[in-house]
Amino acid sequence: MPQSVPSDGAPMPTAETAVKLGLLPSEFDLIVQGLGRQPNFTELCAFSGMWSEHCSYKNSIRWLKTLPREGKGLLAEPGKENAGLVDIGNGLACAFKIESHNHPSAIEPYQGAATGVGGINRDIFTMGARPIAQLNALFFGDPAESRTQWLAKGVVKGIGDYGNAFGVPTVAGQTFFHPSFHQNPLVNAMSAGIVAHNKVMSAIAYGSGNPVFIVGSATGKDGIHGASFASAEMSGESSKQLPSVQVGDPFQEKLLLEATLELIEAGHAIGIQDMGAAGIICSTAEMSEKGSSGMRIHLDKVPTRGGNMQPYELLLSESQERMLVVGKLGHEAQIQRIFEKWDLNCAQIGEVIPEDRLDFYFGADVVAQLPASMLVLGGGAPVYEREMAQPAYVKEINELNPAKLPIPKNLKDLADCLSRSPNLRPKHWITQQYDSMIGTANLTTRKPSDAAIVWVKETDSALALTVDVNPLYVEANPEKGAMMAVAEAARNIVCSGARPIAITNCLNFGNPYNPEAYWQFVGAIKGMGKACKALGTPVTGGNVSFYNQYREGEQVFPVAPSPSIGMLGLLDNLENHTSLAFPLTQAKLLLVGMVTSDFSCSEYLREWHKIPRSPAPYFNLDQEVQLHKGIAALIEQGLVLSAHDVSEGGLYQCLKESALAGKTGFEVYSDDDIRTDAFWFGEGQGRVVVSILEENEDAVVDLLAELEVPALYLGETGGEQLSFDGEIWHSLEDLMQWDASHLNPWLG
């Protein structure tokens, strides 16, 4: 590496410049030390993108490496490819991943959410997989606030418009409302695709002289410093950073999908990487480092949407629908013809070199020269472990004893109150904006189940997909709350008749330099690891999103910590697909799992008693594992007609959802040993409601007893009324009319 500084025409930067670009003064010193010279402005911008939390995971990787990352069927090392890759049999694999687009969505919700969908799908098809399913997890503030309404409308429309036009069904998701997300919503997008084992493409560069292409859309000034923007605090000034929000084109992405899969099928490519966060610098650095090579790149050959783009802008632009392709030497013409056929840009901008070096030219001038290994996670990027401190509120909530609260005199009034809770109301106003049927593989459109079931065509199997987390459980107890998120995701998959295989995660937390936020993050990682090990679901990769917070006066607080768990399961036998809907035939209802008088951290406690924070609900990981074994065995032996897990809103909400889905009523009774409000509305974990034929009752009870899983008789299905302890709380007709008239009650 020469000691002279490449000239980019900009003034020589200082440590103060580095700080303005989001780097620490100590990191500027590391750069100087590593290069053996001062960096120029373009090079410093490259480090600002690559050493941002968004790209380097510098404040999180130490703990991420403690998660279980090995398991049967994993075909790619976690975090080393564009997405996780898991064997699903029949010579096929599933590529899947979840990522955040939080800060862009807070500034421009429509484009922020749309480009989040585009980016996560590119991660899937750059691996050679055709996307077949999309999911999302959305977190907004108080729905009565005009800002929440503006954000929610824009985000949902952005997801719907992009996903629908791109042609991949949105099959599942979750939406959660809480005041902490008022200024900083969370928008997490997940995608899954299918690829044959022999068609998997890696994000790698090797082979001296192999050509490097940029393909897809032209490059503009949108998204510049987007990775740094995603690694910074939101503030009142953030709206001025609109250039950091990308603009998407789903029709261009559809063309790019088809061209990319054709390129891979034809065998012309060595490696492909999505050009997402930090743009060209990220793709060139990560692909080179992975292949122990480098690249010579001519930035002036990059197709642009307008003139006067500076070298640092070309390096860092996050314009959408672009990818970096390393082709095979001698196949240049064939590569060009494929992208010309699909009417897409395809410009050869460089070639692979054997040295650990990235040479960036602009015309005849070298404007930046950097070691690829120095830029990336696992190479020269710094790694930190931050200070931790338990928040004061944890002690306060642990001193709260909900059992001292009185039981409401009229539980029907309580049920009506919870029916108005934003987190329990139907989300039709969201789901009806998404195309869930395109591709004709989504089996849950005709048979609703706790997880989405997506048929793998030309096989007898299907994918089971879900995304889950309750931020308030995690806030109350990060370790326990994260365990519950993993357990609920697995429980949803088991209740649907499938077996959990692996997870991807999107870890949404506050500022890592805030000891209390970092304590939440570390606790959640510990809990996630314990649950994944117990349930046999290794982590294939994902995303960390720090700096999610809100301001009250002069104080800044982290949002409710939200480690979204995207879980993949496999349904080996389509006949085992189990609905959450009660059957039309009369059936007995059993509550399977441990029943307690716990109603901590419930919607009931928040909505009725107006207690915003309380201890995490009851949870026992060992009991959860046994429950899953029991439910799986019941389904495998054909002993249940429906299965639905108990989660937010408690048993009441679970029963109501199954009744509405099956269009049949029920008559159920509580247990005299349990507080009635806790019995119906508590959110203690590890419980499932199953419906069974009377003739199978003995076999069901015996099987569960053998596995030491408790079960309680609840009542029977039938009729058109929802009867609790002999009192009719609702009729099916009233509930359906209420749902129809409240499709979008908050958002107008």
397 contacts: CB under 8 Å, gap ≥ 6: 476, 613, 614, 615
What is the β-pairing status of strands 294-298 and 358-362? Answer: parallel
Question: Using N-to-C axis directions, what is the helix angle for 621-636 and 697-706, rounded to 10°?
Answer: 140
Q: Which sign does the torsion angle of CA 281, 283, 289, 292 carry? A: negative
C-alpha span between 600 and 597 (Å, rounded): 9
Contact yes or no for 519/513 (Cβ under 8 A): no
Instruction: Map residue 282 onto helix, strand or coil.
Output: helix
214, 347 contact by CB (below 8 A): yes
- Give catalytic status of residue 54 as yes or no: yes
What is the distance between the alpha carbons of residues 476 and 561, in angstroms, rounded to a whole number? 10
Distances in whole angstroms, Cα of residue 104 to Cα of each of 155, 223, 230, 542: 10, 9, 8, 18
Question: What token pair was written down for 638?
Answer: 């054909």
Catalytic residue among 54, 268, 298, 577: 54
Pairing of strands 269-274, 721-724: unpaired
**Cα–Cα distance list, 240 to 20, 46, 106, 109, 726 (Å):** 15, 22, 12, 14, 59
Single-letter code of the amino acid located at 62: R
Contact 472, 560 (CB under 8 A): yes
* Cβ contact 668:714 at 8 Å: yes
Distance CA 517, CA 747 (A): 31
At residue 245, what is the residue type? V
For the record, the structure tokens of 97 come out as 């991943």
CA atoms within 13 A on the CB side of 167: 10
Contact 666, 718 (CB under 8 A): yes
Other C-beta atoms lying within 10 Å of the C-beta of residue 512? 23
The end-to-end CA distance of the chain, in Å, is 61
- By the 10 Å C-beta count (0-12 exposed, 13-18 middle, 19+ buried), 99 is classed as buried
Q: Residue 676: is it exposed, middle or buried by C-beta count within 10 angstroms (0-12/13-18/19+)?
A: middle
Structure tokens at 747: 């958002």
Catalytic residue among 101, 182, 268, 628: 101
Contact call for residues 273 and 287 (beta carbons, < 8 A): yes
Strand order in the sheet with 499-508: 452-455, 462-468, 562-571, 499-508, 539-545
Query: CB count, 10 Å around CB of 642?
Result: 23
- Measured between alpha carbons, how far is 590 from 713 in angstroms, rounded to an integer? 5
CA distance 541 to 186: 19
> Count of alpha carbons within 13 Å of 547, Cβ hemisphere only?
22
Question: What's the CA gap between 436 and 172, in Å, rounded?
Answer: 9
Burial of 198 (0-12, 13-18, 19+ CB in 10 A): exposed
- 182 an active-site residue? no
CA-nearest of 92, 109, 89 to 101 is 109
Residue of 579, 733, 739, 580 whose CA lies nearest to 654: 580
How distant, in Å, are the alpha carbons of 94, 542, 567, 594 from that of 506? 18, 6, 11, 30
DSSP sequence for 403-445: GGSPPPS-HHHHHHHHHT-TTTS--HHHHTTS---TTS-BGGG
Residue numbers annotated as active site: 54, 101
